[in-house]
Structure 1
Amino acid sequence: MLEAFQNHIHNKLAFLRERKLLIAISGGVDSVVLAHLCARSGFNFLLAHCNFNLRGDESDADEDFISDLADDLDKEVFIQHFDTKAYAEEHKCSIQMAARELRYDWFTELAEQLHFDYILTAHHADDNLETFLINFSRGTGLEGLTGIPEVNGLFVRPLLPFSNDSIRSFAENNKIAWREDSSNVSVKYLRNKLRHEVIPILKEINPSLLESFQNTLDNLNDTADIVEESVQAVLNRAIISIDSYKVVYNIAKFSKLNNPKAYLFEIFKSYGFKAWDDVLNLLDAQPGKFVHSDSHRLIKDRECLILTDAQPSDFKCVKINNFNKKIKTPFGKLSFSEVKNTGSETENLIFIDGDVLQMPLVLRSRKEGDVFYPKGMTGKKTLSKYFKDEKFSLVDKEQALLLCSGKDIVWILGKRADDRFKVTDKTKHILKIELTP
């Protein structure tokens, strides 16, 4: 197996050599064998072990075993204790999910603090099959059937091509000791039930199950590449604009597709949406309708769909007393300067009569009942009416910022100035206000 491991590294994961690596080690046969293989292959690595305090003395014995293993391999080991049950209760998740979140967060933190290039985990071919069956049994899309990625950001899984049987044989043949986790025997967990009751039957039906499964994964991943290419082509046509707050899509580009629901699923699945019929219905819904997930909203706005955060960002009111200081806003920096003459105005550049201002100026979000006098027009208009006339989306309304003098609006940032503050023949002090993205 050592030769096969080194060949796999040479052919697929050569970038791991000469890199600083962290091996996630539990004490089980998979991670212990991974550590020995890496040591015999001359890798530069250290070890990291999580004590989840779930099995009493057994957990502590695992920790002691890892410390001895680190000494045998002449490697430093990082050990972290977790109150996993308390975390699970606080975050209302299962013990397994709590342990997963705790260990991956800690591994990532270690890598960032100590500048590890990659984190190695000991997932193998049987783990891949179990994950496939778990996703299949719960219902999933193509992504859930393409297996565990061998490389996923910081995390690399060099044992994915190898079966659990081959890993155990290597340990036994090389007299490598490991720890058995008693919780792996219990079939109350879905993964263990599949491991002990379902997969043995499948292997009995097909002794070459893992090889056949790998062929299936290769075919599914090839299909996934085609799907991704097709989805990207649709996105290239559908995306109208992207900024810090939103992505705007052209609904017509979705409506023309033979199966828009499938494309909507692929495009928006990573944002937590689940009610896919509701997402599809947005294409023909009235403007203002939206579907939300825990993290995002998808809003129908005339001929567009707008993707934005679930909650509008909260802008805190800013008082401006000093014109020598640039003011940071979500849209860029706001600057003030006194000039002798006016120039061409744009949406991001206005000139006003400085003597009309009441200090301090205030930069704030809109309020119910706001009124202003649009420059170049006669009379006043409510802000809500102006937004409607200018076809502001819901997100545009939420993000709009107003520069105010007392109770009066001076400028809707990046949009329209107020006529009451315009420069006239009687103006003595001209103030230039510019928003620089």
Structure 2
Amino acid sequence: MLPLSQFQDFIQQHELFANGNKILLAVSGGKDSVLMLHLFKAIGINIGVAHCNFNLRADEAQRDENFVKILAETLNLPFHITHFDTKKYALENKISTQMAARDLRYDWFEEIRLAHQYDYIALAQHQNDAVETVLINLIRGTGISGLHGILPKRDKLIRPILFLNRQEIEEIIDEEGISFVEDSSNLSTHYTRNKLRLQVIPHLQEINPNLEKTFADNIARFAAIENFLDLEVAKLRAKIIIRKTDGIYIALDEIAKLNPQKLLLYELLKPYHFTEHVVEEIIAGLTALSGTLFFSSTHQAIINRSHLVIVERNAETSLNQFIHPSTDKISFGDYDILLSFTDEIKFEMNPAKAFVNADKLIFPMVVRQWQHGDKFIPLGMRMAKKVSDFFIDEKVPLHLKHSTPILVNGNGDIVWIAGMRQDNRYKLTAATKKVAIFELEN
């Protein structure tokens, strides 16, 4: 007998979907997905069937496709099919065949979901899959999210048969006489998951015959712990993170007070993709000199006096941009610099504009980052000053030093620290005949 009441109870308990929702079922043709299909059909949900042919098992893959197609037609259900060159994708992206198949199918499922207005994608993972996932995560190293393994619902993915284990599925299939196809690759120990399934888990079950139930209980506890941690980190983030236009600020003394420090700082910095190793370096560098930098794939963090400041990494900022007399605008990082000329000798007290004696300019000029050793003569002064000292006097945050555009004349002179101060040598005088106006826009 199909476990329909358990199936419906599990759906309601975890709020997997609502009445009237349309569900796309990922059906491989194996016991798990075929049983899931029959359960959905029996309770009268609006469903469609999706099948991926990964072209990895030649005739067997075509057999699976034909079986699922006929099954969908027999049950009068919409059928969606796709074919992948999985090995080519794996080679091009330098990933394993299993990972390639995973990426390809999830991307395609989402495409079908959106194109045909399905509300959720149902996957036929069960308790044994959850056990294997947790063990794989433990072997490779994991945080709390890896300990809860497979969740019943995440975003648009639902797993409605997680209340069953493999043995229970096999017994139901046998009792109901439900047809299915067997994937021969499930018997190969070439894959990590199969090696655990066939060689490791049987020994664990000898120690604990209720292994799946024990793991299911543990997974629920770990999921609750993760939820609690997320709530606490959200409160902490609201309390100690300051968002400014120029970056994310966290006071160093607030970081020093975190307990447990590494765990909480890692969770706080997770949205900015800092790895656990980099978080350890940040903790070790809290007393380091201002200017110490730490990097993630998308952001950089800098010790700026009393704060850790996080900003996005911008590859374009490091590129020199050339300005010619015909240039009317160039982009540099988050800024645009506009150039115009006038015969009217005028000047405004506006740091976002520089009014320069055009006759002294040598083109092409260049806009670049600040460099060590840079000097200029600030407007109104006679002596040269290091740009680094000027930044200190103006209390410019360290992370902004590298994103502030520096306008340099063709002879190497700094003409303007954009948005701050122009050079005294290029100011307008009574002898000026033509004015070059540089304007900074954010």
TM-score normalised to the size of structure 1?
A: 0.80
Structure 1 position 412 matched with structure 2 position 417: yes
> 1:178 Cα deviation (Å)?
1.8
Letter in 1 for 2:368: S
Note the alpha carbon deviations across 1:289-348, whole angstroms, 9 max, x for none. Answer: 44445555444333333445567445573758789x887665366678999987764x5x
Structure 2 gap segments, 5+ residues each: none
Kindly state the Cα deviation for residue 253 of structure 1 after the two structures are TM-superposed.
0.8
Name the CA distance, whole Å, in 2 between partners of 1:94 and 1:436.
47
Please tell me the residue identity of whatever aligns with 1:39: K
Is 2:292 the counterpart of 1:280? Answer: no
For residues 178-229 of structure 1, what are the alpha-carbon distances to aligned partners after superposition, in whole Å with 9 as ceiling and x for unaligned? 2211111123333223223333344444444333333322322232233223
CA contact (8 A) 2:370 2:402 kept: no
Moved more, 72-81 or 425-434: 425-434
1:352 to 1:268, Cα distance in 2 relative to 1, 3 A: same
Q: What does 1:344-355 align with in structure 2 at a 5 Å threshold?
A: 345=350, 349-350=352-353, 352=355
Report whether the alignment pairs 1:255 with 2:256. yes
Amino acid at match of 1:38: F
Q: What SS class does the counterpart of residue 87 from structure 2 fall into?
A: helix
Structure 2 residue corresponding to 1:159, chosen from 161, 167, 189:
161
Q: C-alpha offsets along residues 363-386 of structure 1, whole Å, 9 cap, x if unaligned? A: 733264654443454444344443
Matches of residues 84-99 of structure 1 in structure 2 within 5 Å?
Answer: 84-99=86-101
Separation in structure 2 between the aligned mates of residue 16 and residue 157 of structure 1, nearest angstrom: 14
Q: CA deviation at 1:268?
A: 3.5
Deviation string, structure 1 residues 129-179 (Cα, Å, up to 9, x no partner): 211122223332222212223332232222223323343344334433222
Task: Name the aligned partner's letter for residue 165 of structure 1.
Answer: Q
How much does 1:283 deviate?
Answer: 1.6
Q: Distance in 2 between matches of 1:78 and 1:230?
A: 43
* Separation in 1, partners of 2:159, 2:16: 13
Residue 217 (structure 1) aligns with: 219
Secondary structure in 2 matching 1:176: coil
Pick from 400, 413, 427: which aligns with 1:396? Answer: 400
CA 1:166–1:370 in structure 2 vs 1: closer, same or farther (change >3 Å)? same
* 2:231 aligned partner: 229
Secondary structure (helix, strand or coil) at the match of 1:67 reads helix
In the alignment, structure 1 residue 71 sits paired with structure 2 residue 73? yes
1:302 alignment counterpart: 305
Separation of aligned partners in 1, 2:229 and 2:187:
39
Q: 1:105 is aligned with what amino acid?
A: D
2:318 equivalent to 1:317: no
Does structure 2 conserve the Cα–Cα contact (< 8 Å) formed by 1:251 and 1:303? yes
After alignment, is 121-130 or 90-99 more displaced?
Answer: 90-99
8 Å contact kept, 2:354–2:422: no
2:217, 2:316 → 1: CA distance? 47
Secondary structure, counterpart of 1:65 in structure 2: helix
Distance 1:10 1:233, change over 3 A: closer
CA contact (8 A) 1:288 1:299 kept: yes
Residue range with higher mean Cα deviation, 369-378 or 141-150: 369-378
Match in the other structure for 2:126: 124
Deviations 1:243-279 (A, max 9, x none): 58x5332221111234322323333456252425434
Q: Residue 364 of structure 1: which of 343, 363, 367 is its match?
A: 367
Give the whole-Å Cα distance in 2 for the aligned partners of 1:363 and 1:110: 49
Size of the alignment, in residue pairs?
433
SS at match of 2:7: helix
Q: 1:327 to 1:317 in 2, by over 3 A?
A: closer
- State whether residues 371 and 409 of structure 1, in contact with CA within 8 Å, keep that contact through their aligned partners in structure 2: yes
Q: 2:29–2:180: 8 Å Cα contact kept in structure 1?
A: yes
SS at match of 2:50: strand
Aligned partners of 1:318 and 1:109: how far apart in 2? 43
Q: Which moved more, 1:22-31 or 1:264-273?
A: 264-273
CA contact (8 A) 1:342 1:430 kept: no
Q: Which deviates more, 118-127 or 309-318?
A: 309-318
Q: CA RMSD in A?
A: 3.9
Distance 2:379 2:128 in 1: 69
> 8 Å contact 1:321–1:359 — kept in the other structure?
no
State which drifts further: 351-360 or 283-292.
351-360
In structure 2, distance between residues paired with 1:426 and 1:94? 71
Q: Is contact 1:351–1:430 with CA below 8 Å preserved after alignment? A: no
1:116 deviates by 4.2
Residue identity (%): 36
Q: What TM-score do the two structures reach when normalised by structure 2?
A: 0.79
Seen in structure 2, the aligned counterparts of structure 1 residues 397 and 214 have a Cα distance that, compared at 3 Å, is: same
Please identify, of 100-109 and 379-388, the stretch whose mean Cα deviation from structure 2 is larger. Answer: 379-388
Following superposition, the deviation at residue 27 of structure 1 comes to: 1.9
* Alpha-carbon distance in 2 for matches of 1:113, 1:320: 49
Structure 1's 416 and 81: CA in aligned 2 closer, same or farther, altered over 3 A?
farther
